[in-house]
Amino acid sequence: MRIRAYRPSDSVEITNLFHTSVHTIKQSFYSKEEREAWAPTPPDYTGWKARLLIKKPFVALKKNRIIGFIELESDGHIDCLYVHPDYQGSGVARQLLQHILIVAQKKGITRLHVEASKVAMPFFKKSGFKLIKENHINLRGQSLLNYSMSWSIQP
């Protein structure tokens, strides 16, 4: 696996990865209606293309296929971290997080923060993030639960 910066030609593949990742989350975490509110069908390719040009994520590749991506904003906010369902649990998320930690340190960012889903919260907690608060986000008529978490980067 290798990690590289986003390229505009990645937008469709990332959009599909996001949509697939959300829609394969177990019903015990988020209902079908909640998953559809989070990632509507069909995917908004135009909206994602514009978003990705701004966010410029890092992508994880295996055999030239995008298997995960992560976004790091200038204030240390991780807006997205998604791994293709075929590669979940194989260390992709950990390697993407390690990559942005290095990038953050080079940029002088001293704190990372995220709003983690019910699925992602245990990963971030295991990675050293501290739970700040629980959030209920209203999105397309659904109330989605996530968790604000933070991690202070040690020099």
Residue 36 has pLDDT above 80, yes or no: yes
Residue 154 has pLDDT above 90, yes or no: no
Work out the mean pLDDT of the chain and round it to a whole number.
97
Q: Is the pTM of this model over 0.85?
A: yes
pLDDT digits (tens, 9 = 90+) for 55-111: 999 999 999 999 999 999 999 999 999 999 999 999 999 999 999 999 999 999 999
Percent of the chain surpassing pLDDT 70: 99
* Domain boundaries defined on the chain: 2-152
51 residue type, one letter: R
Mean pLDDT of 107-118: 97
Residue 25 has pLDDT above 80, yes or no: yes
Place of tokens 């697939």: 20
Q: With respect to CATH, is domain 2-152 assigned 3.40.190.80?
A: no
Please check whether residue 136 is in contact with residue 143, taking contact to mean a CB–CB distance below 8 angstroms: yes
Nearest CA-CA partner of 67 in 93, 47, 40, 48: 93
Residue-level pLDDT at 155 = 67
Mean pLDDT of 22-45: 97
Residue-level pLDDT at 143 = 96
Nearest CA-CA partner of 66 in 83, 80, 79: 83
Please state whether the peptide bond connecting residue 40 to the residue before it is cis, i.e. omega within 30 degrees of 0. Answer: no
